[in-house]
Amino acid sequence: MTPPLDPAFRPAVLAVRAYDELVRSTGAGVPVRLAIEQADGSVFRFETAVLPDGHPGAGANGVHLERLVKFILWSRGGWRILVHGPAPLAAGLAAHYRDTATGRFDAHLVGERMFDHPLSVEHTAELPDERATTRPLGRHLEGNRIGFDLGGSDRKAAAVIDGRVVFSDETVWDPYHKPDPQYHLDGIMDSLRKAAAHLPRVDAIGGSAAGVYVNNRVKAGSLFRGVPPEIFDARVKDLFLNVKRAWNDVPFEVVNDGEVTALAGSMSLGENAILGIALGTSTAAGYVTPDGNITSWLNELAFAPIDYNPAAPADEWSGDYGVGAQYFSQQCVGRLMPVAGIDAPPDMPLPERLKLVQRLMAGEDVRARQIYRTIGVYLGYGVAHYASFYDLRHVLVLGRVTSGPGGDDIVSGAREVLEIEFPDLAQRIRFHVPDEHDKRHGQAIAAASLPALVR
């Protein structure tokens, strides 16, 4: 199926399928086994096969491996990549992370910033065994709690008493390019105070935000991309620890917004094996295992490739092509508008562009509908690709891009892709869109439920 506004789209899942079939057809595929290791010793293993040397298509081997490892790096996370396979392929992968701008971006942000080690690519004759842990997340509803969510366009806070939202507030802000983290701190404290005013006392605070957080410390986050590195280290890493102290050290937990999205879906639906995908300023994703737990995985699908066309749109931050942020976000809406024939002033911000398209969609404008149908096709192929890396039974689709009638077109388009191209997945995976109540309150309740009360 071709996206109406993007005939050059080359779905990663189909590219991998075609490549794998070509390798099998040779009868001489070369096995490549991979492992990625995290700082706590967790190890994740994957397998593929490449074309033999001398095959006319063998030049694709390096691209296949690099795109696969990029997906693994951003979905799982880690600092040490082990390659059991042809040594030249391992050397080419190491050169990518050492010598190219996009590779260095990934190596720095994932290896150094998130896992506190320089990224290492090693050729090896033996891989370590897979080992990983999962843990329960949230679902604590007793007491007087504040839940907050920090996005790229707005910040939200809610007061929750025994699982019931008694107050919620949404405030527009613009954190992406602010160099002084005092802006971020002041905004967070303002939202918390507004919520606290509606509680008899504050027993716990839980929050979600774009980025990677370990023990309430900021490892990396798009919200702070404008902060210079030296100021980030001095004032951002411990920002939430300082917020916790300011609130008398009540139980406090902040995690990636995608994880809270998946948790909210699991709590609302009473189901597990859920991948939550939020189409907002960028793309946020989170995963709840079949056992109802979360993992140590990154799930940063904003940077995971889903389009293998080398001329695909490039992400503004990493510079890489075909990654999720350009397909499942208001950035995608903005880039599709001129293709659809919708004009907007050059200086109109992306949130306003999205609102314009939503107004047109409400008026049944065919140009706006083409945008949503295009995103629906993207999502169907994207989910099919994600299903190769996640044990999925449910996909929760939400975020401001899905608000209004356009959200229905996105989900119906994704379902259609699965039914036509991947009937086995269509039988197994259910799409869910939260109702307006869950959109407003589900995330707040899930965030507020993160910390356990001290007994």
Distance CA 52, CA 28 (A): 6
Distance CA 187, CA 309 (A): 40
Cβ(82)–Cβ(35) below 8 Å: yes
Question: For the chain, how big is the Rg over CA atoms in Å?
Answer: 22
Kind plus residue range of the DSSP H or E element containing 406: helix 405-421
Distance CA 394, CA 167 (A): 30
The DSSP secondary-structure symbol of 400 reads G
**String of DSSP letters for 65-83:** HHHHHHHHHHHT--SEEEE
**String of DSSP letters for 299-356:** --TTSSB-B--TTSPBPTTT--BSBGGGTSSHHHHHHHHHHHT----TT--HHHHHHH
> Are 135-257 and 260-443 equal in CATH topology?
yes
Written as six digits, the tokens of 177 are: 């390019």
The pLDDT of residue 153? 83
Written as six digits, the tokens of 14 are: 């189909």
Cβ(410)–Cβ(357) below 8 Å: no
Distance CA 29, CA 52 (A): 6
Domain boundaries, the chain: 12-123, 135-257, 260-443
Per CATH, the number for 135-257 is: 3.30.420.40
Q: Is 140 helix (H, G, I), strand (E, B) or coil?
A: coil
Beta bridge partners of 34: 46, 83
User: Measured in whole angstroms, how far is the alpha carbon of residue 61 from the centre of its chain?
Assistant: 27
Distance CA 207, CA 185 (A): 14
Structural domain 260-443, CATH architecture? 2-Layer Sandwich (3.30)
Sheet with 144-150: strands ordered across: 164-172, 154-161, 144-150, 204-209, 252-256
Cβ(374)–Cβ(336) below 8 Å: yes
Instruction: Indicate the pTM of the whole model.
Output: 0.89
Distance CA 206, CA 185 (A): 16
Each of the 455 residues of the chain gets a pLDDT tens digit; together they read: 999 999 999 999 999 999 999 999 999 999 999 999 998 899 999 999 999 999 999 999 999 999 999 999 999 999 999 999 999 999 999 999 999 999 999 999 999 989 989 999 999 999 999 998 778 888 999 999 999 999 888 899 999 999 999 999 999 999 988 999 999 999 999 999 999 999 999 999 999 998 888 889 998 888 998 999 899 999 999 999 999 999 999 999 999 888 888 998 899 889 999 999 999 889 989 999 999 888 889 999 999 999 999 999 999 999 999 999 999 999 999 999 999 999 999 999 999 999 999 999 999 999 999 999 999 999 999 999 999 999 999 999 988 899 899 999 999 999 999 999 999 999 999 999 887 666 656 777 899 999 999 87
